[in-house]
Amino acid sequence: MTGRRDKRGRRIGRNWWREFVTALVQDHNDAVDRLDGFNHQMEPDEFRAAHPYITLKQCLTEHRGMTPLL
């Protein structure tokens, strides 16, 4: 079994970095949505200003230079 290869002949495998970052963004935004459902003391606009969604760009810049633990 040879597996997938790129044009230079390198193996193409699982991209742990992409999976890690997208999971962080999704988990954070899901948590904000769950908090919004329990919030009864703030208006929706106020809540959104206090608890903004994280963007993919923010997550990437905060975790740049990270290496996997092997």
In the chain, the amino acid numbered 46 is E
In the chain, the amino acid numbered 48 is R
Q: What is the pLDDT of residue 68?
A: 67
What letter does residue 15 receive in the DSSP assignment? -
User: pLDDT tens, 30-48?
Assistant: 998 888 777 678 888 888 8
Q: Would 55 be classed as within a structural domain?
A: yes
Mean predicted confidence (pLDDT) in 1-21: 81
pLDDT over threshold 80, residue 25: yes
Residue 5 phi/psi, 5-degree rounding, is -130, 150
Task: Share the mean pLDDT of the chain.
Answer: 84
Q: What is the pLDDT of residue 11?
A: 82
Cβ-Cβ contacts under 8 Å for 12 (sequence gap 6 or more): 3, 4, 5, 6
Count of domains forming the chain: 1
Q: Would 53 be classed as within a structural domain?
A: yes
Q: Would 35 be classed as within a structural domain?
A: yes
pLDDT over threshold 70, residue 2: no
